[in-house]
Every structure is written in structure tokens, then in C-alpha cells.
Structure 1
């Protein structure tokens, strides 16, 4: 399981290292957030989070400002759509897209599955009970240490804002605390962290598999080929699987 986890993590980091793909995806997220809740980050928690995530990826301020401005123009009309599919070894795949042309997007997604043996798209709703939608926030442990906040105290404080689980993950950069809550409590958890003056490293709505599966490194290598094709698509914002 350790080898498989490290392989998956390394492969994912390699994919997201392609900045030419990352910036357009981040820009779309910002534009959609501004379109939905207004262009003032102070009044739009979703936009604040999108901007924070973009800054964490070193996206230039000019790009961020342009993405916000785009929300008020004709080219700011995007649709958020989802697609579902399956692959070999019992792998389930949930795909979130932001697009200005759904015909193009669905045709591309279908082609990735059709060209991969053992894979196929599923009717939307097929995976409804296989994934739980969660609010996920990442913060640096050193930030709460600097604020003299104990982890136990942080948990107690955030329960009132919708905290369901707090997980500690050790990375090369240091310890990261991951906060989970129901997707409907995204705004509340964001406000809770801001009220405690804790910097948010990353925040998003994720779909987490209810029954994760383990694959061998060889099986992961095979599945990664399909996931790479999907994630490299300009319209794809996020891809979730039931791989542990």
C-alpha cells in the first residue's frame, strides 16, 4: 500500500506541475466564483478561496484580476458539468468540468474512455452514493503553533463551524492539518478559520470515496494513463477516484 500511495502521489504532483494547464483551470474557477457571487472577495467566500488557491500555485496577480474581470464579460459564460465513468480493477471515476462548450467537453471525455480498454462512461447519478461531497481545508501546523493554538483547541473551536474530522499529514515541507466538513458547511468553515486568523493553505470541495480500493503499482500505472488524459483536458477541473 505504501508503494502504491507514493506512486500515485508522485504521478499526481508531476501532472499538476504543468503550469500551462494549471493556470487556465484556476482562472476558470475564479471566473465562475465571481460570476456566481460577485467580484468582491470580501463578500464572496468562494471567490476568496479561489484566489487563495491560485496564489498558492504562484498564479500572477494580473492573471487573477483578468479572471475576475472576465466574469462580467460575454466570455465569462461557463457551465459546470460532471461526468462519471469506470475503469479496470473496479476503479470508479468522477469528473468535474467547467466549460463554454459542453458538446466539445463530453465528446472529449467519451473519447478518453472509449480508447481505454475496460473503461466506459456511466449515466450521471450512477456514482451518487459511492462518493461523499466534502469541504476540505489545508492549513500549516506551524501557523497554528505560531498563534499558540493547540490542535485540540482548534478542533473544539471548529466543531461549531461544521468540522467533522481533522487529519494530520506529514509532507516534505512540514506537517499539514486537513480539515473535513460537509460540503454545505464550506462557507462556515472558511469563516471559522478566518475568525481564528489562521491562513488557509488550500481549500476546495472534494468528492471522497466511501469505499476506497487498493491497487498494485502495476495496476496504478495502467489506470494513470487514462487519468492523465482526462486531467490534461483544458475543461477538466478535478478528477476523483475510489483508489485508496
Structure 2
């Protein structure tokens, strides 16, 4: 499929299924969204989406409520920071973090790269131009069918809301649009009363690369370490 954010889809989703790891990441996204735009989902689209993503991962309501309340406490002092790195075989890595301690976060990331020969953190902005930012939404195909819509109908309905690309992947429909169309696309789904399975802002490599199995196995050791860090909420590479 050639999507950098979907490298080894099954392997990545398996890792994210570790509840002990995924819940803290989801909670941070909720807390930061509530801090930035208020604690009412009805008037805060970013919070509404963060809650939706948390529910999709079966995060308990009590955890969600606690994450929202945390926004008004000292624990809610989170910052969004992006770091960039390179690894062997021409692999480029962008790491989006939410942290209450940037010093700790960068120290941890540097340690992961230092343990991998040929890998290093690079100055922010070095890799930005090699990725396009996109709004990405997922919904279930049967939810579309329940609304008596064909894929062509869905595509036509969402074009005015910023849809650029629609793709069918197994039982899901993936919608992509410009980075700045996130709020508008969200409104499009709401206007259709079409439930969103997942929604996120993602970085897609302009020139993806292919790795053989041996190269991928070595690279995934570094990627696993990064993804297992609670401060890292999103990881993007240029891997095909």
C-alpha cells in the first residue's frame, strides 16, 4: 500500500494493543486537548476526537474522565514536542511526544538511538520537508453500508469537507485529506452521522523506501524501544 505511517501494520497494531502502554498515551492526548480547548467535547473537536480514539481502544470511562480533569491540575502541564532521527539503511524517523518533562524525554530518546549503531537524533526541522502532513480518518465499511451509501456516495459527500483520497482496506474505509482539513472532515462525518473509528494527523513520507526482512528486523528493534516510551504518542518513518 506504500504508506509510511502503516509500516508493518499488523506488528504495530499488536504493539499498541498492550493496554499498559496505550492507555497512558491516550490519556495524555485527552488531557492536552482539554487543556488547549476546554473540557466540553461538544465545543472542543480535538477533545471529541481524542475521546473517540480512546473509546476505540476500550479505554474505561473513568480513565477518560480522569484525563479530562487532569487538564486543570498540575499534572496537566504537558507540552507537545517533536523530535527527529535517522537510522541505518536510509530510515528517517519523526517522533511526536507529549511530556511534562522534556529533559527526560530527549534523554530517553537519545539512549534508544545510542544503543543502535548508525542511528542518531538530528536537529528539528531536518526531516520535516520529507514528510507531508495529512488528516486521516477510519470508519467501518458496514457503518457506511448501514447509511445506504456506496463508496462513491461517501467520496462525493466528503469532497466538500476536504477529502483527497478514499481507500478500502479489508473491513475499513480510510479517508485522507489535507492537514488543515481535520476539523472540516470531522464535521463531514458528523453531518453524515457516520461513526469515526479512528482519527489522527499523520506524516506521510514523500519518498518511501523498502527494506528487506533482515534490515526491517534490525530497524524494528529501535522502533519498538521508541514506541514503548510513554512520552511518544506517534511515530512516523519513511519505510514502505
Assess same fold via TM > 0.5: yes
Q: CA deviation at 1:13?
A: 2.4
Q: Tell me, yes or no, if the aligned pair for 2:112 and 2:225 is still in contact at 8 Å.
A: yes
Q: What's the secondary structure of 1:168's corresponding residue?
A: strand
Q: CA deviation at 1:44?
A: 0.6
Q: Distance in 2 between matches of 1:211 and 1:240?
A: 13
How far, CA to CA, are the matches of 1:9 and 1:161 in structure 2? 27
Count of residue correspondences: 237
Shift in alpha-carbon separation, 1:55–1:99, aligned structure 2, 3 A: same
Partner of 1:230: 226
Change (3 A) 1:195 1:7: closer
State how far apart, in whole Å, the 2-side matches of 1:138 and 1:101 are: 32
Partner of 2:161: 161
Structure 1, unmatched stretches of 5+, are none
Paired residues of 1:8 and 1:220 also in contact (CA < 8 A): no
2: CA distance between counterparts of 1:221 and 1:138?
28
Task: Determine the structure 1 residue equivalent to 2:63.
Answer: 63
Deviations 1:56-100 (A, max 9, x none): 000000000000010111110100000000111110000000000
Q: Distance in 2 between matches of 1:53 and 1:7?
A: 20
1:194 counterpart SS class: helix
The question of whether the paired residues in 1 share the 8 Å contact of 2:7 and 2:239 is answered with no
RMSD: 1.5
Contact preservation (8 Å) 1:139, 1:199 = yes
Partner of 2:210: 214
1:1-244 → structure 2 map (5 Å cutoff) = 8-170=8-170, 175-244=171-240
How many Å separate the matches in 1 of 2:101 and 2:216? 31
Q: Secondary structure at the match of 1:71?
A: helix
TM-score (norm. length: structure 1): 0.94
TM-score norm. by structure 2 comes to: 0.96
Question: Separation in 2 of the partners of 1:129 and 1:13?
Answer: 27
**Per-residue deviation, residues 28-59 of structure 1 (Å, max 9, x unmatched):** 00000000111000001111110010000000
* Whole-Å separation in 2 of the counterparts to 1:17 and 1:225: 18
